[in-house]
Chain A
Amino acid sequence: MTLLVLAAALGVVAVVTGIGVFVADSMARATFLLLASFVAVAVVLLAFGLAYLGIVVVLMMTIEMMIMVVFMVMLMMNPAGLEPMTMVHNRWGARLIALAVFAVLAAGALVVPWPVRPGPPGDPTTALGADLMGPQMLTMTVLGLAILATIVGTVAVSATRGSRR
Chain B
Amino acid sequence: MTELTLRVVLVVAAALVATGLYGALSQQSIVMIMMGLELVVNGLVLAAGGIWWAGGHPGNASVLVVVLVTVMALEMAMGFAVALALYRARRVDLTDDATELAR
**Contacts of A22 on B, CB cut-off 8 Å?**
19, 22-23, 26-27, 32, 36
Q: Tell me whether B2 is interfacial, beta carbon within 8 Å.
A: yes
Interface size of A as a range: 35 or more
CB within 8 Å of B: which A107-142 residues: 108-110, 114-118, 120-121, 124, 127-128, 130-132, 135-136, 139
User: Considering residues A1, A22, A27, which has the most beta carbons from chain B within 10 angstroms of its beta carbon?
Assistant: A22
Main secondary structure on chain B at its contact with chain A? helix
B78 in contact (CB, < 8 A): yes
A19, A30, A116 — most chain B CB neighbours (10 Å): A116
Q: Which residues of A contact B42 (CB under 8 A)?
A: 14, 18, 37-38, 41
Question: Is A87 a contact of B32 with CB atoms below 8 Å?
Answer: yes
Cross-chain contact of A98 among B22, B70, B82 (Cβ < 8 A): B22
* Residue from the list B1, B51, B59, B70 in contact with A136, Cβ < 8 A: B59
Interface string of B1-42 (1 = CB under 8 A from A): 111111111111111111111110111111110011011001
B80 contacts across to A, CB distance below 8 A: 67, 71, 154, 158
Q: Is the CB of A88 within 8 A of B28?
A: yes
Q: Is B10 a contact partner of A97 (Cβ separation < 8 A)?
A: no
- Write the nearest CB–CB distance from A156 to chain B, whole angstroms: 8
- 8 Å CB contact of A147 from B32, B46, B70: B70
Question: Is there an interface contact between A48 and B49, defined as CB atoms closer than 8 Å?
Answer: yes
Cα distance, A154 to B85, chains bound together (Å): 10
A interface residue numbers (CB < 8 A to B): 1, 3-4, 7-8, 11-12, 14-15, 18-19, 21-22, 27, 30-31, 34, 37-38, 41, 44-45, 48-50, 53, 56-57, 60-61, 64, 67-68, 71-72, 75-76, 87-91, 93-95, 97-99, 101-102, 105-106, 108-110, 114-118, 120-121, 124, 127-128, 130-132, 135-136, 139, 143, 146-147, 150-151, 153-155, 157-158, 160
17 contacts between A and B (CB under 8 A): A3-B5, A4-B4, A4-B5, A7-B9, A8-B8, A14-B12, A22-B36, A38-B42, A41-B16, A45-B45, A75-B31, A101-B21, A118-B2, A150-B74, A155-B81, A157-B84, A157-B85
